Amino acid sequence: MNQLDALKQFTTVVADTGDFKQLGTFQPQDATTNPSLILKAVQKPDYAPLVSDTVSQFRDRAMDEIVDRLLVRFGCEILSIIPGRVSTEVDARLSFDTAATVARGERLIALYQAQGIAPERVLIKVASTWEGIQAAEQLERKGIRTNLTLLFSFCQAVACGQARVQLISPFVGRIYDWYKKSAGAAWVEADNAEANDPGVRSVAQIFNYYKKFGIATEVMGASFRNVGQITALAGCDLLTISPELLAQMAASNAPVQQALKADAAHAADIAQVHYTEADFRLALNNDAMATEKLAEGIRAFCVDAVKLEQLLLAA
């Protein structure tokens, strides 16, 4: 049994890509996309016909609608290959606008339904700002499932649990990046690997908290830099993994042991907390890593959203 198949014994494996032509190789249950991944995919020659067809059909519509239709087109192609769900992201420029995020999420689901896709097969990805979490709560009440992304801190995870969102995506690799850069020459890789990796520790804390207090929100570790981070989270509800790392695992026969266990979490000595908006904003502000990475992530997705629009204008 290769590493990837071994991991699937404990965790639902998700492919982190907009390149649906790669999906069949790894047989993931679900797939996630984001603006950067879609931008990367649409620049490949293989996808030129899909892009030009979408633009030509809807050239008279507003650009934000053309983009959403392209995202849904990719999502439908992905869903024709995988048995589970696809995550499709709301424009990052709406990260601080609750009402606009709700409206965009509703439109994405309507576009999917028009293509015959049931709502339960789609997760609407929303940034884990306070406004995004409130939007997700409203969407969930409407029967629209959400995936809260750009999640770097415990307070974001607690607020998402309070909002009863379907799934969260804590970013392992980006947390690791921040601590490694912050430590500089003092960083010792061996001391911060696998279970001691700061990104891994963050996801484990969230997983244990959710399981301890019966929070139904699914935990999906994301943004991995190496296979060690992945195997250190075996047992997490889901893990979304790039095609490059999926290929590495498929080519390895190294053993995988279950690292996270709900039974162990139930016995853990953890206190339950609740965040008001003021509590949330203070806790996030006091977490320099989370504050910086959340802002950085939103900025990067905004840049790629603009690049995608420019590419479509030229199509």
- Percentage of the residues of the chain whose pLDDT score is greater than 90: 95
Strand residues in the chain grouped as ranges (E): 12-16, 30-32, 86-89, 122-127, 146-151, 167-170, 218-221, 238-241
Task: State the burial class of residue 171 (Cβ atoms within 10 Å of its Cβ: 0-12, 13-18, 19+).
Answer: buried
Give the 3-state secondary structure of residue 53: helix
Distance CA 189, CA 196 (A): 10
Domains of the chain: 3-314 (3.20.20.70)
> How many residues can be counted in the chain?
315
∠ CA 93-98-99, rounded to 5°: 100
C-alpha dist (Å) from residue 171 to 22, 68, 186, 245: 22, 24, 23, 15
pLDDT value of position 247: 96
pLDDT tens, residue by residue, 250-300: 999 999 999 999 999 999 899 999 999 999 999 999 999 999 999 999 999
Residue 32 has which token pair?
A: 């996630």
pLDDT at 182 over 90: yes
Residue 124 DSSP symbol: E
Distance CA 290, CA 283 (A): 10
pLDDT value of position 85: 97
pLDDT at 35 over 90: no
- Percentage of the residues of the chain whose pLDDT score is greater than 70: 100
- DSSP secondary structure letters along 284-302: HHT-HHHHHHHHHHHHHHH
As annotated, the active-site residues are 125
**Is the CB of residue 204 less than 8 Å from the CB of residue 233?**
yes
- Token pair 């307070």 in the structure block, residue: 155
pLDDT value of position 22: 84
Distance CA 263, CA 243 (A): 31
pLDDT tens, residue by residue, 67-104: 999 999 999 999 999 999 999 999 999 999 999 999 99
**Is the CB of residue 35 less than 8 Å from the CB of residue 92?**
yes
pLDDT tens, residue by residue, 54-66: 999 999 999 999 9
pLDDT at 131 over 90: yes
pLDDT value of position 150: 98
Residue 62 has which token pair?
A: 């507003």
| Residue type present at position 44 | K
Distance CA 234, CA 214 (A): 20
Pinpoint the alpha helices (H) of 12-142.
23-26, 35-42, 48-57, 63-79, 98-114, 130-141
Give the 3-state secondary structure of residue 122: strand
What's the whole-number average pLDDT of the chain?
96
Distance CA 305, CA 92 (A): 8
Residue 65 has which token pair?
A: 């609608």
pLDDT tens, residue by residue, 159-174: 999 999 999 999 999 9
**Is the CB of residue 172 less than 8 Å from the CB of residue 221?**
yes
Residue 266 has which token pair?
A: 């139930």
pLDDT value of position 21: 87
Across residues 203-221, what is the average pLDDT? 98
pLDDT tens, residue by residue, 222-250: 999 999 999 999 999 999 999 999 999 99
pLDDT value of position 167: 98
Q: Is the dihedral of CA 173, 178, 179, 183 positive or negative?
A: positive
Which residues, other chains included, contact 188 with Cβ-Cβ below 8 Å and sequence gap of 6+? none
Distance CA 204, CA 206 (A): 5
Across residues 182-188, what is the average pLDDT? 98
pLDDT-based confidence at residue 24 (cuts at 50, 70, 90): confident
pLDDT at 315 over 90: no
How, if at all, do strands 218-221 and 238-241 pair? parallel
